[in-house]
Amino acid sequence: MEVPQHVAIILDGNGRWAKQHGMPRNYGHTQGAKNVETICREAWNMGIKYLTVYAFSTENWSRPKDEVGALMKLLRNYMKNCMKTAEKNHMRVRVIGDISRLEPDLQESIHRLEEFSANQDGLNFQIAINYGSRDEMLRGMKQMLSDYGEGKFDLKDLDEKMFENYLDTRGIPAPDLLIRTSGELRLSNYLLWQLAYSELYFTDVAWPDFTKKELEKAVQDYNKRDRRFGGVTDPVSKPAKTDKGGTEGV
């Protein structure tokens, strides 16, 4: 079985899951955060090298104030625990998104975690916090225009590769597979540039119930796909499939 190198996840459904269990939404977020840790471990055991999860979007600020507060508190605790987990599991943690809008202490613990784990050789774990693709691209463009204004590059040299260096995900390969839990069929401003050619997998399972088995199901489903990049078959990472009635190359 081919394991995707990079899996991106929109972890959704914490609130609905909690409601189903007769609990407040924030309980769902707590359980969801615990599950992130489990899935990090299972992903690495399966051979996944990069995992990127959507923890808080630029749009999520419009949630009720006390839910935003609870999510920030949870992220704060999460960063502390993540230090231990990163050490134990050799994870390299990076945060994508505009963290300048977060409380200074949270920004500080993000920096500490990133620096502390920078040389780890286990799972590359990206957490999207105050992340929105449009915001990421705009921030990137502003920086790029500023560099251009300072004569740092020629317009003729600007290509996709160079632009990617202005994104928060610089140095990280594009996701092979996107998973969204809990039934919604949208991207919610997540990795729009990076997901251009990723395989998409949607499941009705809510995030706190998304187990190792569910992850395996997603990877199995991914294996049934004929990955193509505008051509007939991906010539680089996957040999032509012959188990589907020989229809490839048509």
Q: Which residues bind Mg ion (CB under 5 A)?
A: 12
Q: State yes or no: residue 12 binds ligand IPE (CB under 6 A).
A: yes
CB 198 within 8 A of CB 176: yes
Q: State yes or no: residue 8 binds ligand IPE (CB under 6 A).
A: no
Candidates 60, 120, 223, 233; binder of ligand IPE (CB under 6 A) is 60
**225 C-beta neighbours (distance < 10 Å), count:** 15
Shortest distance (Å) from residue 231 CB to Mg ion: 36
Q: Specify the 3-state DSSP secondary structure of 39.
A: helix
Give the contact letters, 106-145, x = binds to ligand IPE (CB under 6 A), - = no.
Answer: ----------------------------------------
Binding partner of 132, given ligand IPE, Mg ion, none, CB within 5-8 angstroms per partner class: none
Sheet containing strand 92-96, edge to edge, reads 92-96, 124-131, 50-57, 6-10, 177-180, 199-202
Task: State the Cα–Cα distance between residues 138 and 221, nearest whole angstrom.
Answer: 34
Q: Are strands 199-202 and 50-57 parallel, antiparallel or unpaired?
A: unpaired
Stretch that binds ligand IPE, among 5-13, 141-149, 162-170, 194-202 (CB under 6 A): 5-13
DSSP-H helix ranges across the chain: 14-20, 25-46, 65-89, 104-117, 133-149, 160-164, 212-223
Q: Is 12 a catalytic residue?
A: yes
21, amino acid identity: H
Q: State yes or no: residue 57 binds ligand IPE (CB under 6 A).
A: yes
Q: Is 223 a catalytic residue?
A: no
When the beta carbons of 201 and 227 are compared against ligand IPE, the nearer one is: 201
Which residues are the active-site residues?
Answer: 12, 60
Residue ranges binding ligand IPE (CB under 6 A): 10-16, 32, 54-57, 59-60, 71, 182, 186, 188
